[in-house]
Chain A
Amino acid sequence: MCLVAFAGSVGCRWFAPAPSTSDASAPRLPGQSTGVFTTARPTLAAALNDFFGRRPIADQPLEFPHDVHVRLEIKCTEYCHESVTTGPVAGLPSVSTCMICHAAIATDSPRIQQIAALSEKGIDLQWTRVYGYAPEAHVRFNHAPHIRAKVECATCHGDIGGQTIAQRNVDLNMGFCVNCHNANKASVDCLTCHF
């Protein structure tokens, strides 16, 4: 059986059509991509988790305090997730967005100093996405119409004000979407989300 698997993974090499002129070739140059095949998932565990819809607890590069910002009544959609009103994706702010306020505010905090240092080097934070669907899920979500319909952020994202790093505390499965659509008399046509 291992033999079958091995053959399956390397077999395509043996059947690649050979070019007709043997001495012709495209030389590899510095700076070009290697052409090495990389898998869609980094590890087997990641692939299995993805398959069963299990998400690891989001591990962010910086313990971003959502609670502090919500307490100060900074609206979610005003600075940080601003494309939520115009596009399908809410958007994650880059460090330059942080620096709009934090160039002057709380500059003595170690976390802010960390961000300022990154911003100077032009390097962004590697935020991990908490929500969202894999392409294989074949479903699309657009924030903008939900905002227009005055759906509260908390409906789908839970009580962010009680969290530091956002965690996925609402399970956004199809049942969840359809219940809310039914309750608000929104379309439940398949093509509303699956297109």
Chain B
Amino acid sequence: MDRRTFIKLTAITGTSATLASCGNPENQLIRFVPAEDIVPGIAVWKPGVCPLCSAGCGLTVRVMDADAEVVRDGQAGVVRIAAAKKLEGAPDHPVNHGGLCARGQAAIQIAYHPDRITQPLRRAGARGEGRYEAVSWEDALGEIVSRLDALESAGNQRAVAYVAGSGRGYRSALVRLFLSRYGAPGPMAYQLFGDEVLRRANALSFGREQLPTFDLANARYVLSFGADFLGTWNSPVAQSVGYGLMRQGRPGIRGAFTQVESRMSQTGASADEWVPIKPGTEGVLALGLAHLIMTARLHPAAAAGRAGALIDGWSTGLATYTPQEVERVTGVAAARVERLARQFGDTRPAVAMVAGPPLAHSNALFTALAVNALNALVGAAEQPGGLFFTPQIDVAAAMKISGPVASPAPAIERLAAEGLSGTSATQLLFVDGANPVFTTPRAWRVREAFEKIPYIASFGSFLDETSILADLILPDHSFLESWTEALPESGAVEAVASVAPPVMRPLHQTRATPDVLLEVGRLLRRPLELPWQTFDELLGASLADLPSASGFGAWTDAQETGVWSGTLPAGLAVAEIADASPAPAPVAFAAPEFDGAADEYPFHFLPYSSNAFLDGSLAHLPWLQEMPDPLTSAMWSSWIEINPATAERLGIGTGDLVEVASAHGTLRTGVVISPGIAPDLVAMPAGQGHRTFTRYASGRGESPVDLLAPMTEAATGALAWAATRVRVTRVGPPDGRLILFAAGMREHLEEHR
């Protein structure tokens, strides 16, 4: 081919390609008059609150002009709006100090998600089919009001159930108040990787039913039992900031860090020493350390006070927890136990933390109490370099509510069981920011129970496994379009309230759920006694009594900066829980119980909170789908992690397709061989395996929840999600479902063949 022909061919190809890609001209959209004054091309930064987890980090949102396609009075058109374009951490926020995790960065995709629900919808097809028709807000609210009125006139208010995500702030207080004023049971707050056990343990040991705040910046030694505190647990950004200061913030001092866990987490990968341990025996190691510290007379047993008294045998020095006995139970060598005890007892300040898998066994409360006692023994509680409890605002007192704020809430598994057996008939279910059909063990049969409920209303912004069962969807605003607030449970030494006004006008025909609840309360035949017209009125009234640094009032300050922080006046703080009397019986170690016989199901199964999706609620954000996992580099997929020796024994290679089976379910997925995992353990990230959750997550990967046994923690009833045993069988060679960063599976395997 000569040059002339080549150019001709290129021209022809180019023209035909252009022709092929040119469709009909777009319909000319009309342009609406913008509702606000916007200087084009100039960015302004507004405060916000990150909605993705309960840490309550402050945001600063870059807002600039943009054209948005909207519908006004049934007419489609374009309007210039001030649109949020980028999220960053708020520099002066007492929790995140300007930091923001990758999940928070991706939160902006919630607002502009192509599969967002844009208007109220009524079910048009069979339940679960996903066929919906548009309905006006007036009709939708009318439907809810008439349902609630009918139940009320029948005296059947207790047939209303409300399932919510986590939340300790004013929004969830409003939900509780709405339900209690109506006469319904309180909201069910279920979380797959919840921290109920640790909260209960802290209430018993320290009189605070909340998660602790760690003063890592001043710590010299941190001993963590399974807590993924740099990745997904508690307040990861606050803890990462503190961790950075602990390692590099003090000239000449580098705090040491040991991680005890059976599968190396992102946090474990940062540790100086990684101590693998038999699942469910972490409490024994903690008491073994306490025994040696007491024996060496580094700290007296009495120093642990109330926390020590909760442990059986504490006052006599835990004589049975000798290093040899600890080695027998936990698998950690006696010499190593002694060395860790010396390090923990000698270094001041030192602090221990526990969370995650150790608190997902049948004996979890014992484990948490043991670690608390160890902390109390070395004087870590409320001391610099130790652990603190962030003062909490008493929400009911701040809202000036008289009468009961909340009726007791049933556990979701009980609601499901009673619904299926017919002993309680829930008539109306509200779903708000939770997806229990996806996150509860299949053995609880939550989906079947929900299918039997005559009427379900969802406030969801996306169609997921739970909201697809809904008869009516009343989509909430995104967090950028509504008043947002959070009362961080931990992460700061002083009390914090994050509050921010809407960053931009609503893009769609959505309404803020708190405002919807207030309106429904007004529309009922017997209107509920809720003294606010809108949610921001509630927030303003609640923040009014807090001290203000500027003199303009805490409410004005918070709106401007996105946060209030300071010392709580008496009467507005949650009080410390007094010692129970009579004192609770001391607890002793009980071997963890596992579901499945060891000979049939030889492996412990460890689901873990995904660094990208947490429990799966963020799998719909494509930025997080394409974010490589920090330890395996896998993306857009799910996998199990398995020890190299085990893999060799079973003849499994990287990427191979395996079947993982428990007594409760089976799934097939790819394999990542990881040296950071015990030989008798397989681990799997949660988050993928959605059947219905937008175009990005639907049908992608598998969910470890499908295998979970309905095991519970003995004392608290919390789900023991690490107490399932499984077997692993190789099914076939890699089939492309495991995607590793920068390596197509095929090339990767050919390289390693």
Residues of chain A contacted by B402 (CB below 8 angstroms): none
Residues of chain B contacted by A124 (CB below 8 angstroms): 31-34, 79
Cβ contacts A77-118/B at 8 Å (1 or 0 each):
000000100111101001110000000000000000000000
Q: Does A32 contact B118, Cβ atoms closer than 8 Å?
A: yes
Task: Report if B220 contacts A (CB, 8 A).
Answer: no
Q: Does B30 contact A9, Cβ atoms closer than 8 Å?
A: no
Majority-rule SS of B interface residues: loop
Q: Does B40 contact A41, Cβ atoms closer than 8 Å?
A: no
Tell which of A26, A44, A95 touches B115, judged by Cβ atoms closer than 8 Å.
A26
Task: Report if A182 contacts B (CB, 8 A).
Answer: no
Residues of chain A contacted by B30 (CB below 8 angstroms): 123, 126
Name the distance in Å between A80's Cβ and chain B's nearest Cβ: 13
Q: List 30 A-B contacts (CB under 8 A).
A: A1-B13, A5-B16, A6-B16, A8-B13, A9-B21, A21-B699, A24-B690, A25-B698, A26-B694, A29-B117, A30-B119, A31-B71, A31-B117, A31-B134, A31-B508, A32-B116, A39-B22, A42-B26, A43-B25, A44-B18, A47-B18, A47-B22, A86-B39, A86-B42, A96-B33, A122-B32, A124-B31, A124-B79, A126-B28, A126-B31
Task: Report if B150 contacts A (CB, 8 A).
Answer: no
Residues of chain B contacted by A26 (CB below 8 angstroms): 115, 463, 692-695, 698
Task: Report if B569 contacts A (CB, 8 A).
Answer: no
Q: Does A33 contact B114, Cβ atoms closer than 8 Å?
A: yes
For residues 154 through 174 of chain A, which have their beta carbon under 8 Å from a beta carbon of chain B? none
| Distance between Cα atoms of A89 and B23 in the complex (Å) | 31
Task: Report if B254 contacts A (CB, 8 A).
Answer: no
Q: How many residues of A contact B (CB 8 A)?
A: 46
Q: Does A20 contact B132, Cβ atoms closer than 8 Å?
A: no
| Distance between Cα atoms of A20 and B667 in the complex (Å) | 12
Q: Which residues of B contact A (CB under 8 A)?
A: 9, 12-13, 16-23, 25-26, 28, 30-34, 39-42, 69, 71-72, 77, 79, 114-119, 121, 129-134, 463, 468, 508-509, 689-695, 698-702, 736-737
Residues of chain A contacted by B69 (CB below 8 angstroms): 33
Q: Does A88 contact B42, Cβ atoms closer than 8 Å?
A: yes
Q: Does B39 contact A5, Cβ atoms closer than 8 Å?
A: no
| Distance between Cα atoms of A83 and B38 in the complex (Å) | 9
Task: Report if A27 contacts B (CB, 8 A).
Answer: yes
Q: Does B40 contact A88, Cβ atoms closer than 8 Å?
A: yes
For residues 4 through 29 of chain A, which have their beta carbon under 8 Å from a beta carbon of chain B? 4-6, 8-9, 17, 19-27, 29
Task: Report if A2 contacts B (CB, 8 A).
Answer: yes
| Distance between Cα atoms of A21 and B13 in the complex (Å) | 38
Tell which of B13, B26, B130 touches A38, judged by Cβ atoms closer than 8 Å.
B26
Q: Does A19 contact B699, Cβ atoms closer than 8 Å?
A: yes
| Distance between Cα atoms of A8 and B30 in the complex (Å) | 34
Q: Does B119 contact A35, Cβ atoms closer than 8 Å?
A: no
Q: A26-B692, A83-B39, A124-B32 are in contact. List 9 more A-B contacts (CB 8 A).
A: A9-B17, A26-B694, A30-B134, A35-B114, A41-B22, A88-B42, A119-B33, A122-B32, A123-B77
Closest to A126 in B: B31
Residues of chain A contacted by B23 (CB below 8 angstroms): 38-39
Closest to A90 in B: B40
Residues of chain A contacted by B22 (CB below 8 angstroms): 39, 41-44, 47
Given contacts A30-B134, A42-B25, A89-B41, contact A25 B114 (CB under 8 A): no
For residues 23 through 67 of chain A, which have their beta carbon under 8 Å from a beta carbon of chain B? 23-27, 29-33, 35, 38-39, 41-44, 47
Task: Report if A180 contacts B (CB, 8 A).
Answer: no
Q: Does A25 contact B121, Cβ atoms closer than 8 Å?
A: no
| Distance between Cα atoms of A86 and B134 in the complex (Å) | 43
Closest to B22 in A: A44
Name the distance in Å between B743's Cβ and chain A's nearest Cβ: 15
| Distance between Cα atoms of A192 and B468 in the complex (Å) | 53
Q: Does B13 contact A5, Cβ atoms closer than 8 Å?
A: yes
Closest to B40 in A: A89
| Distance between Cα atoms of A179 and B42 in the complex (Å) | 28
Most buried by B among A6, A19, A31: A31
For residues 132 through 183 of chain A, which have their beta carbon under 8 Å from a beta carbon of chain B? 142
Closest to A45 in B: B22
Closest to A44 in B: B22
Name the distance in Å between A102's Cβ and chain B's nearest Cβ: 14
Name the distance in Å between A191's Cβ and chain B's nearest Cβ: 18
| Distance between Cα atoms of A102 and B270 in the complex (Å) | 68
Task: Report if A125 contacts B (CB, 8 A).
Answer: yes
| Distance between Cα atoms of A31 and B689 in the complex (Å) | 26
Residues of chain A contacted by B17 (CB below 8 angstroms): 5, 8-9
Residues of chain A contacted by B117 (CB below 8 angstroms): 29, 31-32
Residues of chain B contacted by A23 (CB below 8 angstroms): 691, 699
Closest to B638 in A: A20
| Distance between Cα atoms of A142 and B118 in the complex (Å) | 36
Q: Does B131 contact A27, Cβ atoms closer than 8 Å?
A: yes
The 3 tightest CB contacts between A and B, nearest first, are A27-B130, A24-B699, A5-B16
Closest to B77 in A: A123
| Distance between Cα atoms of A26 and B690 in the complex (Å) | 10
| Distance between Cα atoms of A44 and B34 in the complex (Å) | 32
Residues of chain A contacted by B21 (CB below 8 angstroms): 9, 39
| Distance between Cα atoms of A79 and B690 in the complex (Å) | 54
Closest to B124 in A: A30
| Distance between Cα atoms of A32 and B116 in the complex (Å) | 7
Residues of chain A contacted by B71 (CB below 8 angstroms): 31
Name the distance in Å between A87's Cβ and chain B's nearest Cβ: 4
Q: Does A95 contact B39, Cβ atoms closer than 8 Å?
A: no
Name the distance in Å between A41's Cβ and chain B's nearest Cβ: 7
| Distance between Cα atoms of A96 and B130 in the complex (Å) | 42
| Distance between Cα atoms of A4 and B11 in the complex (Å) | 13
| Distance between Cα atoms of A26 and B129 in the complex (Å) | 10
Given contacts A24-B699, A41-B22, contact A125 B40 (CB under 8 A): no
Closest to A25 in B: B698
Given contacts A19-B698, A32-B115, A91-B39, contact A123 B32 (CB under 8 A): yes
Q: Does B42 contact A5, Cβ atoms closer than 8 Å?
A: no
Name the distance in Å between B236's Cβ and chain A's nearest Cβ: 29
Most buried by A among B39, B117, B737: B39
Name the distance in Å between B166's Cβ and chain A's nearest Cβ: 25
Q: Does A31 contact B509, Cβ atoms closer than 8 Å?
A: yes
Residues of chain A contacted by B695 (CB below 8 angstroms): 26, 35
Given contacts A8-B17, A19-B699, contact A29 B463 (CB under 8 A): yes
Residues of chain A contacted by B77 (CB below 8 angstroms): 123
Q: Does A94 contact B34, Cβ atoms closer than 8 Å?
A: yes
Residues of chain A contacted by B118 (CB below 8 angstroms): 29, 31-32
| Distance between Cα atoms of A80 and B246 in the complex (Å) | 56
Residues of chain A contacted by B468 (CB below 8 angstroms): 27
| Distance between Cα atoms of A42 and B346 in the complex (Å) | 74
